[in-house]
Amino acid sequence: MTLPAVEPAHDASFDPASGERTGAVAHSTGAEVGHILDSANRAAPALAALSPAIRQAWIAAAADAVLAVADELVGLARAETGLGVARLEGELNRMAASARFYAGVACEGSYLGASRDDLDGGSTLVRWNIPVGVVAVFGASNFPFGFGIFGHDVASALAAGCPVVVKAHPAHPRLSVRLGQIVRDALLNAGAPEGTFDVVVGFDSGLQLVDSPVVRAVAFTGSQQAGLALVERGARRGIPVFAEMGTVNPVFVTPAAAADRDSIAQGFVDSFTLGAGQFCTKPGLILVPAGHGFAASIAEAVSRVPAAPLLTAGIAAAFARGIGELNPHAAAASAPVKTEAHPVAGYEVSPRTIAVDLAQLTPGSRLLEECFGPVALVVEYDDPAAALAALDRLQPSLAASVFTGGDADTDADLAVAQLTRRVGRVAVNTWPTGVATSWSQQHGGPWPATSRPEATSVGGGGLARFVRPVSLQNATSIQLPLMLQPQNPWKLPRRLNGRLVPFE
């Protein structure tokens, strides 16, 4: 008897605007994942031995290849995310620019931490950072380019000299596979060894990556539930999992800033509804001085924002559950928030705010947990000291904002000092949603916003996640790493007997 063929498992592709299925991508088999990991493992020594300048040329070629088919990629992303064309075009261009930035950070060389000391008795000691090896990356649903197949985690790991295997996100599988193909081919054509970069598809494929002894580090951007599961799984092998998960990002408006009420209210609404509220840096709670009409101004601004689709059916369902859980906490003075029959059109939802009392911000409250999507809490306070105390009861977060009345605003000074102990980035008189790719950027935060508070997933410090230090004592000139040989062929900065010596 002939058995019917079994359809392979797949990630289905859906249009968030309509909810209709538009295609599917088959999951990678265990054998396919194993072959990809073997190739990556073989490529690791070659990548580590090459100068950052060579890797920079590869990454630049991949960035050029992506930009050359920008219209195709934006079209795929639009069909699978429901995000606007202008937003996606900007994100794709920033992705290419960020990749070049990380390659430039590697070429600058300080991430290697190269140093040499001549010790008493004629002994020598050198220390530098080496690539950890193969890195597995789990991209995000909400940034298909910026934190996806060729986003921050991938580009910084490649720049640091690590082969990368990316697990495609099920929210945009067709885009993931196509973008992965373009990047892989461009790297190979530029001279990168086979195994430098590849993509796998499917939940089980992701677990296979984390469990493989070949993989030495994992980078993840997404929900707290998934991030914690990966952290626990990685801990079984003792490998670092750099999970950026996010919590409720607070905003504190001082009484002295009340004169700018309307602009602050509009800016808050623009920020928490940007991308349908699906940014990890979304301000989810604003503390405003009572008696200045902030709540009314915010409500008016929200009423002008149209409904927009969320990324997936799962995110839309979680948003509906979150609104249902937050509604009972609404302050008596505020009108109950209506929940929508879902879906209205695809995964479309309307933005809303919920007014709550300051005293309700207590440890363990649902109010202190993130609700992914276009919703935010509005809290009025009478006493700035009480509001500042409430900030200490919130979960640590990725970012926070403080709005001041000028330079002589003691409440703002106290808030900034307090928040720097609890968040990764404090934005003064601006909103936290924009994240610049720069040397001074910190995109991370204390637990539970991230699993590794010392790390950043954006900015020049991002390469530090994918290297580890090693020392050699009494090494011969042949045994020394190239950046610490006397002629310094890579032309990188070094610290010699305690003195930083930039290459000239």
Q: Are residues 306 and 224 in the same domain?
A: no
The tally of domains found in the chain comes to 2
pLDDT of residue 329: 77
Q: Are residues 165 and 304 in the same domain?
A: no
Cβ pair 230, 218 in contact under 8 A: yes
pLDDT of residue 438: 97
Nearest CA among 390, 391, 409, 408 for reference residue 400: 391
pLDDT of residue 302: 96
Give the CATH number, domain containing residue 33. Answer: 3.40.605.10
Q: Are strands 397-403 and 375-381 parallel, antiparallel or unpaired?
A: unpaired
Question: 486 in helix, strand or coil?
Answer: coil
Q: Is residue 91 part of a domain?
A: yes
Q: Are residues 114 and 262 in the same domain?
A: no
Q: Are residues 210 and 359 in the same domain?
A: no
Q: Is residue 487 part of a domain?
A: no
Cβ pair 34, 193 in contact under 8 A: no
Q: Give, for all 504 residues of the chain, the pLDDT tens digit.
A: 444 444 569 999 999 988 999 999 999 999 999 999 999 999 999 999 999 999 999 999 999 999 999 999 999 999 999 999 999 999 999 999 999 999 999 999 999 999 999 999 889 999 999 999 999 999 899 999 999 999 999 999 999 999 999 999 999 999 999 999 999 999 999 999 999 999 999 999 999 999 999 999 999 999 999 999 999 999 999 999 999 998 899 999 999 999 999 999 999 999 999 999 999 999 999 999 999 999 999 999 999 999 999 999 999 999 999 999 888 877 644 443 444 444 456 899 999 999 999 999 998 889 888 999 999 999 999 999 999 999 999 999 999 999 999 888 999 999 999 999 999 999 999 999 999 999 999 999 999 999 999 999 999 999 999 999 999 999 998 999 999 998 999 999 999 999 999 875
Q: Is residue 500 part of a domain?
A: no
Q: Which of 162, 280, 370, 380 is catalytic?
A: 280
Contacts of 354 (CB under 8 A, 6+ apart): 326, 327, 329, 330, 334, 337, 375, 376, 377, 378
User: Does the active-site annotation cover 280?
Assistant: yes
Q: Are residues 187 and 282 in the same domain?
A: no
Q: Is residue 451 part of a domain?
A: no
Q: Are strands 423-428 and 115-118 parallel, antiparallel or unpaired?
A: unpaired
Q: Is residue 205 part of a domain?
A: yes
Phi, psi of 446, rounded to the nearest 5 degrees: -65, 160
Q: Is residue 259 part of a domain?
A: yes
Q: Rounded to whole angstroms, how far apart are CA atoms 42 and 56?
A: 20
Phi, psi of 36, rounded to the nearest 5 degrees: -65, -40
Q: Are residues 267 and 253 in the same domain?
A: yes
Q: Are residues 113 and 182 in the same domain?
A: yes
Question: 3-state SS of 385-417?
Answer: HHHHHHHCCCCCEEEEEEECCCCCCHHHHHHHH
Q: Report in angstroms the alpha-carbon separations of 68 from 59, 71, 92, 191.
A: 14, 8, 11, 19
pLDDT of residue 328: 83
Q: Rounded to whole angstroms, how far apart are CA atoms 143 and 88?
A: 9
Q: Are residues 221 and 322 in the same domain?
A: no
pLDDT of residue 343: 42
Q: Residue 488: which region, alpha, beta or left (left: phi > 0; alpha: psi -120 to 50)?
A: left
Q: Which of 80, 244, 348, 370 is catalytic?
A: 244
Q: Are residues 18 and 55 in the same domain?
A: yes
Q: Is residue 436 part of a domain?
A: no
Residues linked to residue 308 through DSSP beta bridges, in sequence order: 349
Rg of the chain, C-alpha, whole Å: 24
Q: Is residue 503 part of a domain?
A: no
Q: Rounded to whole angstroms, how far apart are CA atoms 80 and 313?
A: 12
Give the CATH number, domain containing residue 309. Answer: 3.40.309.10
Angle at 334 between CA 333 and CA 340, to 5 degrees: 155
Q: Are residues 306 and 376 in the same domain?
A: yes
Question: Which domain does 161 fall in, by range?
Answer: 10-245+456-465
Phi, psi of 88, rounded to the nearest 5 degrees: -70, -40
Cβ pair 145, 91 in contact under 8 A: yes
User: H or E stretch including 142?
Assistant: none
pTM: 0.93
Nearest CA among 488, 491, 468, 467 for reference residue 477: 488
Q: 494-497, long-range: CB within 8 Å, 24+ apart, which pairs?
A: 494/114, 494/115, 494/116, 495/113, 495/114, 495/115, 495/116, 496/115, 496/116, 497/116, 497/117, 497/118
Cβ pair 284, 399 in contact under 8 A: no
Q: Report in angstroms the alpha-carbon separations of 371 from 245, 299, 332, 367, 489.
A: 12, 18, 21, 9, 52
Tokens of 100: 């070049």
Q: Are residues 65 and 211 in the same domain?
A: yes
Cβ pair 263, 297 in contact under 8 A: no
Q: Are residues 233 and 203 in the same domain?
A: yes
Q: Rounded to whole angstroms, how far apart are CA atoms 421 and 400?
A: 11
Cβ pair 205, 218 in contact under 8 A: no
